[in-house]
Amino acid sequence: MAACRDPELRDERLQGLLLDHLSRLARPYLFRRANKDMPNGGHDAVDDIVSKMAMAIVDPAAMDGVGFGAAFYPKLQQRLADRHRAWRAQQKRTEPMPVDDETGEMFEPPDAAGLTPEEAVTVDDLIAGLPENHRRAFLLHRAGFPVSSKGECIATMLGVQPKTADAWIKKAVAHLREQLGLDR
């Protein structure tokens, strides 16, 4: 580790070999500890952590590089825990599909009644082009979820305050109306 971080080391080939060795140590350690329910069985998270580890090690200004030098495995474990935490938080914010209480079946997304196929595609493209938080709030609103309530609501599902969720919906609607020429 110290050799990789040595600013005097000018042999890029040697530095590459050292980084490969550290990567070969890190990958199995992380794979054994990664949550297999994460996307791609945790492989993406491990690859990202190893890539960022290598960049931090060769960057003399990176504080993570110092951390990896002081405690290699604990630092890897810390970065994996960070990824698990972020993944779990994302899971909590995932948009659930509305379900019919009586049948238990998922509702079909509302159709674009009265629109030609070309208009429906245009509307879908405009919705897809919204910023992610605006798009998610708008789609939940369109699916019939309230902005706030004691039960399931948009603010809770997205992990934000009701005012924020309402603002995102209003901005999405305003943008869509503007793009469709409905504000004239």
pLDDT in tens, the chain (184 residues): 777 777 777 788 888 888 899 999 999 999 999 988 888 888 988 999 999 898 888 887 888 888 888 888 998 999 888 888 888 877 766 556 666 677 777 665 555 555 677 777 888 888 889 999 999 999 888 888 888 877 788 888 888 999 999 999 999 988 888 888 776 5
Give backbone dihedrals phi and psi of 82, rounded to 5 degrees, phi first: -60, -45
- List the Cα angle 168/171/176 in 5-degree steps: 125
Nearby residues of 70 by Cβ (< 8 Å), 6 or more positions away = none
What's the pTM value of the predicted model, to 2 decimals? Answer: 0.50
Q: Does domain 117-179 bear CATH number 1.10.10.10? A: yes
What integer pLDDT is reported at residue 113 of this predicted model?
52
Nearby residues of 158 by Cβ (< 8 Å), 6 or more positions away = 93, 133, 136, 137, 140, 165
CA distance 30 to 80: 7
First-residue to last-residue Cα distance in the chain = 63
Kindly list the distances between the CA atom of residue 20 and the CA atoms of 23, 82, 132, 152, 173, in Å, as whole numbers in the listed order: 5, 23, 36, 48, 50
CA distance 130 to 39: 24
CA 114 and chain centroid, separation = 35
Check: CB of residue 140 under 8 Å from CB of residue 160.
no
What integer pLDDT is reported at residue 145 of this predicted model?
85
